[in-house]
Chain A
């Protein structure tokens, strides 16, 4: 699986973005590490949204970790990206 299976790039065309956490990343590169992209998303990076697969497979599995760190994946995202957490 590649990062674009879990995340959509939004608001910009595929290409380079200087990120606070990892420096310059090329979002036209399908080989970006999923964990890096996921960490950016959790930071509130404005150019990512979860795909349906991303919602189901990434966050449903990692809920305890997110809760421990006090990180709400959707906290800086618009309502349309709000995650459906499993009970």
Chain B
């Protein structure tokens, strides 16, 4: 792999922050095949892109979760000691309301192995989860009824995923169930 010059690289000057208002989630055990590390990447671009598609097991699919505008973000932190550096993704979201379905989601995921996909405002996707490691529910922030009438009800949730490398995900996300093999 060769280094290369890195310029400003903004497409038409666009660089809006934040995440899209849809997060995609599924069960880690429901994934049939995972994107993999780039094989012998020759460029920095290739080294920053996972290869392949997220494919679900028969009868399984990914799902959407709505999040309030400007209330979701993806933090990328460096973890590990010298010689063992890696990364931790922290995906923060806020889902408005305290309806039963949302409470059930939190109950169901709090100790579960998950896969999550977030899209940034530039349209780039980030996959939390891989063949050997899942995303985990880590914390709840600002969840509840709020204290004043100009506050808001809802659930704030943080999911964590640790990985050796940072990649964009360039595959598709099936929101329809995988079909039985012919």
The secondary-structure label for the interface of chain A is: loop
Residues of A within 8 A of B174 (CB): 12, 17-18, 47
Q: B177 near A17 (CB under 8 angstroms)? A: no
B8-58 interface (Cβ within 8 A of A) = 24, 53, 55
CA distance A45 to B53 in the complex (A): 9
Q: B171 near A12 (CB under 8 angstroms)? A: no
Distance (Å) between the CB of A3 and the closest chain B CB?
16
The secondary-structure label for the interface of chain B is: loop
- C-beta contact mask, A27-46 vs B, less than 8 Å → 1, else 0? 11000000000000000011
Residues of A within 8 A of B172 (CB): 17-20, 45-47
CA distance A16 to B172 in the complex (A): 11
Q: A12 near B173 (CB under 8 angstroms)? A: no
Residues of A within 8 A of B55 (CB): 11, 46
Q: B171 near A17 (CB under 8 angstroms)? A: no
Whether B68 is near chain A, meaning CB under 8 Å from some CB there, is no
A12-B176, A13-B179, A16-B176 provided; 17 other pairs, C-beta below 8 A? A11-B178, A12-B61, A12-B177, A12-B179, A13-B177, A13-B178, A15-B176, A15-B177, A16-B175, A18-B172, A18-B173, A18-B174, A18-B175, A20-B172, A27-B176, A45-B172, A47-B174
Q: What are the 3 A-B residue pairs with the smallest beta carbon separation, nearest first?
A: A15-B176, A18-B173, A16-B175
Q: Which A residues are within 8 Å of any B CB, using their own CB?
A: 10-20, 24, 27-28, 45-47
Q: Which B residues are within 8 Å of any A CB, using their own CB?
A: 24, 53, 55, 61, 125, 170-179
